[in-house]
Each structure stands twice: as structure tokens, then as C-alpha cells.
């Protein structure tokens, strides 16, 4: 059965090709009736045009069936847009600044937070101009004596009060409109200033930051009128209900869009129910909003609370294929609890506020049937994210198993390209396991203000999880806190295999692991030309007895032409297995292994059969990592890594 929907249709018609429906709600009801009558393989064809969704279009168990396939698809590749934005008209220009009246949005903040001109994201006016920041400093004296006008809890006060430098010109800002963005290394806090104490050089903030406000490398203000001095910026004054935009584009002739809806589609079955066989194809999801609670935004890692254009719960055997996610305020897709065996294939994701997709949850479900598992994310182009939520991952997998992330192309300002696992402890074991991360092309990563922590990232015990045949190239760091690694095994990682990957030109080297990792296998990888160093074991020093170790690091090639081999000079424990590796420093005939010579290192029982030798890589600068037959790497048992199938291979 087929139904048709058109922006020129009529809901009183029958939904045929010649008499299409007008609205998505109407065709949804027609699909429900067809399912009740036993119809299978129902296709809803969407004709070209923009479908405005100012509230989420919600699907539940009545909109699908375990035995029927329901597909919403563009007709004959026509351009179909699901939009959560409104067009802004009535622009006038005064002194080079465009202005338009726009009533305050119906939310607690009274702000509009994004502006797009002809599909281009315009930067919010900020202070200081450009990419500059102010420095948060430690307060002087004992803050616990400040009195009840602040708080009796000194630890809380350190996270609610920001001390500014008296020489910074920050107190004349219109704080009623402005937001303070505090950069705390791999994440940011976004707060409002509730009061100013000029005697103590102090801002009181609307909420609590993750760690003390001085634990940061800078802050700036968003939505500040003075920031309009910079071209291609905009500002909204909620008091005068006026939009201001400094741009060379003629806004009276342009398409100017303000997003007002944060979620376009919801897959939301009743408690215990599931949604089956629901498919979306050839649709552009665009212009979603982002939100900020009254107390401000603050989250520990990966920006998970950010909204989603599509939010799925209990989705089974569903798919999103050949769609586009563009000009979003948050994430593209969330497959939350009980989402199983879904396919996210062949999509384009660009110009987003956060990342592309979140899979799973941060807690462990009690029943196996409730677990999010077995989903595939493949052949997607993901770029230009993290425009609002600066610490986002492109792809995040939580406590979820048997997912497959393969043949994706990822670049841009992401904190992680692919992040897998969500457990900082060893026990109890979480449901993160047996995830397959393979054949992804990750490149030019970390172009935002926070840089990148790591391209491929794992967290916690994950038996059976594998990272293999990925190509990671050009990973950039933030100058204030470093990082910018290729592959990271973070706290508690165990049972993970890292195999047949190539990492080239990562700022902080190809591979790093936390002190508290053990039982991982890192084999047959090439780690080439790290910018600052090549390998690291990092994290807070273990307390008490030495941290667990015991990884296998074998048959790897490590080559570099600047800096040391290791970031640190010593380890807390040497009870680990490293052997049959090739190391070669083009600039140093006798590189140090931590604080040791190579001979001393071998006397510790490490790399006893490894060699300091040139593996003779053909042309790594141009992506050719092949080696001649006489390469010493082959004598160590190294196997060639084929890059021909890395990245997007799907022909559309």
C-alpha cells in the first residue's frame, strides 16, 4: 500500500498519488488504519517541500507492527525537509547592522539561540571578539568566611563563583542577555551571571560547574551586543525583542531561519512496548533548537543531555538511510533504551550543535530484552559538529553491546570521533561489550576551541570490543591542555583489542592508556609521526598499591621524527607485555624508553625481541603505508594493513 503527502495536498483527500494528504499527522492515522486491516509493507511517499514540525512527530506501537514494514521516504529523490525552524522577515539595516523584530520565544529563558542565513550558521556575537578568552583566577583568601550571602559550603562556592581578573573589562556586559561559557578542558559549562561583586572581582553563576571555576583555561560571553563589532555575528535582545545581525549578506533577500523546536521525530512506545520495522529514507532533518536549563548547562563528559533531532526508545529493526542531518542545535539521532538491530546507513551529518548519534544509556538495565544492542552505524559522512556543545563525540555508545560502527567518514570539531563505554569502575561489569569499530576514516579532527581528547576512545571493561582497520589522520589538540591522541583506552578498560589500525600525525601520539587499564591487546598497528610524542600512559597516579597493568603491546610499528617516544619518564608499574615491535626515530639514533635506554628497557623484560629499525614505509605523508619485502617489520610477523576499504564505500 502507498500513501502520498504533499505541501500542496489536502487532508480531506484519500492520500493517493493524484490526491495526496497535506500533513504528516493525517498520513500517520491512515497508516494506523491500514495496519489494523492487516496491510503490510506500507510506503509513505513525501513530495518535495518543507514540512514544518513545531512539535515532535511522535510514533508509538500503534504506528508499526512486528509483521509489517512501514517506510517514510522522499518520492523519486525529491528534496524533502523536516524543519523545526521559522523564517525571519522584516529586516532593515541601520549603520551596517541588520535588525528585525521577533517576539520572545515561549520558554523560560526568552532567548533565541541560533541563526542560519541561507543554510549557513551565523556565530553568536561574543566577547571578547574572535576566539579570545578571559582567564578565571583562584579567589584570594578563605572563601568559607565569605558569609551566608553566598553559601556556607566552600566547595560548592568554588563551583558557583567565578573570580575574574580585575584588569579584564568584563563588568559592563549586559548580563541579562549574555551567557558565560567556561572552558573546562574536554567540556564546557554554560551559565548565566546572577550577580556581580566588584569588591571581590566575583561573578555568581546560575548553577554549579563540574569542578571549581578556576579549573579551566578560559571563558567568554555569548550573545553580547558589543560582539557585533565582528562581522558575520548576531545578537538577540530579549527586552526589545530585536534580532541584530552584522553580515555582508542582504538579509531582505536571504532565507533567514531561527530554530524553535529541538526534536523533530520521537519513537516513543508505551511502557514495555516496542516499535518495529519503521524506516525513514531520503529526508533532510534540519533547524532544531538547543536548550539551556534555568540553572545553566553542565555535564561531565560527551554532552549527552543535548537534544536530538530524532529520539528513539524501544525501536527494533528500524532504519534511517540516505537522510541528511544539517543545521541542528544538538545531536542528530538518539537510540536510547531497548533499541535493537536498527540500521543507520548512508546518511550525511553536518553543521550540528553536538554529534551525530548516541546509542544506549548510562545505566545497566536489569533485563536482557531491555538492553540497547545490535545496532549498525555505517557509511555515514559526519563533519562540522560540536558547534554549540563543544565537548561532543561524533558517535557515542554507552552501556550497550554488539553494535557495529563501520565505514564512516568523520572529521571536524569533535572531542571524540567514536566513544565506546561508560563505566569508570571495573566491577560490576556493565553491558558494554562486543562492539565492533572498524574501517572508519577519521581525519582533521579537533578543529574547535577544545581540540580533541582522542579519535577512538574506550571507557571501562568491555570484553570482546574491537577497534580494527581504522585509519586516523591529523588529530589536533588544544594548546592549553594537550591531548589530541589517536587511540585512547581510558579508566578501567579491559578485554579490548586494538588491531590493524593506522594513526598518522596525531598531536599527542598514536596510542595512550590510563594507568588503570589491564588485559587489552594492541597488536599489528602503525603509530606514525605523533606531533608531541608517540605513546603515553596517563591519568591520576594510583593510590596505594600500583595500578593494574598487563596489556599486550606487540607487533606494532612506531615511527616519529620529533619529540620523545613517551610522554612520561617513568611508570608506576612495569608488569606488562611489550614485544616484537619496531621503533624508529628519524631524528634520534638512540631514543629513550621513558627514562631508560633501549638496553635498560629490555633488561626490565620489555621489548626483548623488538628492534630499533626503519620499517621503510613507502610514503606515509600521502597515505601509503606499504613496505618492501625486506622491511624488518615482516620478520616480526607484521601483516600489511589494507586501507582500500576504509571509509565510505557505499555507492549511492
Residue 65 per-residue DSSP state: B
Which parts of 39-141 fold into alpha helices (H)?
A: none
pLDDT value, residue 152: 47
Q: How far out from the chain centre does Cα 456 lie?
A: 12
pTM equals 0.96
pLDDT value, residue 546: 65
pLDDT value, residue 153: 60
Which residues of the chain, if any, have pLDDT below 50?
148, 152, 652
Given phi > 0 = left and psi -120 to 50 = alpha, else beta, which region is 644?
Answer: alpha
pLDDT digits (tens, 9 = 90+) for 382-429: 999 999 999 999 999 999 999 999 999 999 999 999 999 999 888 888
User: What is the tally of helices (H) and strands (E) in the chain?
Assistant: 4, 57
Q: How many angstroms separate the CA atoms of 479 and 472, rounded?
A: 20
Task: For 92, list phi and psi in degrees, rounded to 5.
Answer: -135, 155
Q: How many angstroms separate the CA atoms of 168 and 181, rounded?
A: 16
DSSP strand pairing (283-286 vs 80-83)? parallel
pLDDT value, residue 604: 95
CA-nearest of 593, 448, 622, 451 to 528 is: 622
Given 3-state DSSP classes, what are the helix, strand and coil percentages for the chain, each rounded to the nearest 5? 5, 35, 55
Place of cell 606487540: 554
Give the chain's largest Cα–Cα span.
Answer: 84
Q: How many angstroms separate the CA atoms of 173 and 162, rounded?
A: 15
Q: How many angstroms separate the CA atoms of 427 and 325, rounded?
A: 38
pLDDT digits (tens, 9 = 90+) for 36-73: 999 889 999 999 999 999 999 999 999 999 999 999 99
Using DSSP, state whether 157 is helix, strand or coil: helix
Using DSSP, state whether 229 is helix, strand or coil: helix
Q: How many CB atoms lie within 10 A of CB 159?
A: 20
Give percent of the chain with pLDDT exceeding 70.
Answer: 96
CA–CA distances in Å: residue 36 to residues 67, 270, 403, 499? 12, 18, 33, 50
pLDDT value, residue 324: 98
pLDDT value, residue 622: 87
CA-nearest of 219, 244, 226, 249 to 234 is: 244
| CB-based contacts of 568-573 (< 8 A; 24+ apart in sequence) | 568/536, 568/537, 568/538, 568/594, 569/594, 569/595, 570/594, 570/595, 571/537, 572/515, 572/541, 572/542, 572/546, 572/547, 573/546, 573/547, 573/549
pLDDT value, residue 547: 66
Amino acid at each position: 500500500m502507498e500513501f502520498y503527502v504533499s505541501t500542496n495536498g489536502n487532508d480531506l483527500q484519500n492520500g493517493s498519488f493524484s490526491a495526496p494528504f497535506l500533513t504528516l499527522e493525517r498520513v500517520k492515522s491512515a497508516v494506523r488504519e491500514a495496519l489494523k486491516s492487516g496491510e503490510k509493507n506500507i510506503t509513505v511517499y513525501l513530495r518535495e517541500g518543507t514540512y514544518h514540525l513545531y512539535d515532535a512527530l511522535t510514533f508509538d506501537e500503534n504506528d508499526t507492527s512486528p509483521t509489517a514494514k512501514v517506510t517514510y521516504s522522499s518520492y523519486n529523490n525529491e528534496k524533502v525537509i523536516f524543519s523545526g525552524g521559522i523564517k525571519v522577515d522584516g529586516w532593515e539595516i541601520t549603520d551596517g547592522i541588520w535588525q528585525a523584530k521577533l517576539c520572545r520565544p515561549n520558554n523560560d529563558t526568552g532567548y533565541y539561540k541560533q541563526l542560519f542565513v541561507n543554510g549557513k550558521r551565523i556565530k553568536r556575537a561574543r566577547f571578547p571578539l574572535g576566539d579570545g578568552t578571559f582567564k578565571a583566577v583562584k579567589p584570594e583568601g578563605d572563601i568559607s568566611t565569605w558569609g551566608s550571602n553566598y553559601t556556607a559550603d566552600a566547595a560548592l562556592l568554588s563551583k558557583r563563583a567565578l573570580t575574574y581578573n580585575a584588569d579584564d573589562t568584563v563588568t559592563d556586559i549586559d548580563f541579562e542577555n549574555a551567557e558565560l561559557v567556561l572552558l573546562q578542558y574536554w567540556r564546557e559549562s554554560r551559565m548565566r551571571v546572577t550577580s556581580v561583586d566588584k569588591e571581590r572581582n566575583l561573578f555568581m553563576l546560575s548553577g554549579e560547574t563540574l569542578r571549581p571555576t578556576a579549573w579551566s583555561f578560559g571563558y567568554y560571553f555569548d550573545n553580547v551586543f558589543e560582539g557585533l563589532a565582528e562581522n558575520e555575528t548576531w545578537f538577540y535582545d530579549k527586552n526589545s525583542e530585536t534580532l541584530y545581525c552584522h553580515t555582508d549578506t542582504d538579509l531582505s533577500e536571504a532565507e533567514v531561519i531561527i530554530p524553535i523546536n529541538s526534536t523533530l521525530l520521537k519513537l516513543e512506545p508505551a511502557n514495555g512496548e516496542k516499535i518495529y520495522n519503521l524506516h525513514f529514507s531520503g529526508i533532510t532533518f534540519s533547524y532544531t533548537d538547543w536548550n539551556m536549563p534555568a540553572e545553566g548547562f553542565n555535564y561531565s563528559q560527551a554532552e549527552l543531555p543535548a537534544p536530538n533531532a530524532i529520539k528513539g526508545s524501544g525501536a527494533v529493526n528500524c532504519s534511517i538511510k540516505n537522510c541528511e542531518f544539517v543545521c541542528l542545535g544538538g545531536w542528530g539521532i538518539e537510540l536510547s533504551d531497548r533499541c535493537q538491530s536498527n540500521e543507520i546507513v548512508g546518511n550525511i551529518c553536518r553543521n550540528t550543535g553536538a554529534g551525530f548519534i548516541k546509542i544506549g544509556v548510562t545505566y545497566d538495565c536489569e533485563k536482557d530484552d531491555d538492553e540497547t544492542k545490535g545496532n549498525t552505524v555505517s557509511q555515514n559522512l559526519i563533519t562540522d559538529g560540536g558547534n554549540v556543545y563543544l565537548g561532543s563525540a561524533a558517535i557515542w555508545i554507552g552501556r550497550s553491546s554488539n553494535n557495529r560502527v563501520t565505514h564512516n567518514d568523520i572529521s571536524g570539531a569533535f572531542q571524540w570521533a567514536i566513544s565506546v563505554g561508560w563505566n569508570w569502575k571495573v566491577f560490576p561489569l556493565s553491558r558494554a561489550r562486543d562492539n565492533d569499530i572498524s574501517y572508519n576514516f577519521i581525519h582533521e579532527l579537533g578543529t574547535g576551541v577544545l581540540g580533541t581528547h582522542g579519535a577512538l576512545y574506550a571507557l571501562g571493561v568491555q570484553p570482546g570490543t574491537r577497534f580494527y582497520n581504522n585509519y586516523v589522520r591529523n588529530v589536533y589538540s588544544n594548546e592549553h591542555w594537550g591531548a589530541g591522541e589517536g587511540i585512547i583506552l581510558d579508566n578501567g578498560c579491559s578485554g579490548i583489542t586494538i588491531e590493524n589500525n593506522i594513526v598518522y600525525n596525531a598531536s599527542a601520539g598514536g596510542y595512550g592508556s590510563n594507568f588503570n587499564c589491564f588485559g587489552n591487546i594492541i597488536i599489528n598497528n602503525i603509530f606514525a609521526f605523533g606531533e608531541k610524542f608517540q605513546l603515553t600512559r596517563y591519568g591520576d597516579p594510583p593510590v596505594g598499591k600500583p595500578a593494574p597493568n598487563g596489556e599486550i603491546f606487540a607487533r606494532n610499528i612506531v615511527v616519529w621524527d620529533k619529540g620523545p617516544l613517551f610522554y612520561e619518564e617513568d611508570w608506576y608499574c612495569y608488569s606488562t607485555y611489550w614485544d616484537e615491535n619496531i621503533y624508529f626515530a628519524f631524528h634520534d639514533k638512540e631514543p629513550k624508553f621513558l627514562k631508560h635506554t633501549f638496553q635498560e628497557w629490555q633488561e626490565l623484560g620489555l621489548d626483548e625481541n623488538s628492534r630499533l629499525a626503519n620499517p621503510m614505509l613507502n610514503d606515509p605523508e600521502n597515505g601509503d603505508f606499504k613496505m618492501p619485502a625486506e622491511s624488518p617489520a615482516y620478520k616480526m610477523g607484521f601483516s600489511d594493513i589494507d586501507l582500500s576499504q576504509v571509509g565510505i564505500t557505499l555507492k549511492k
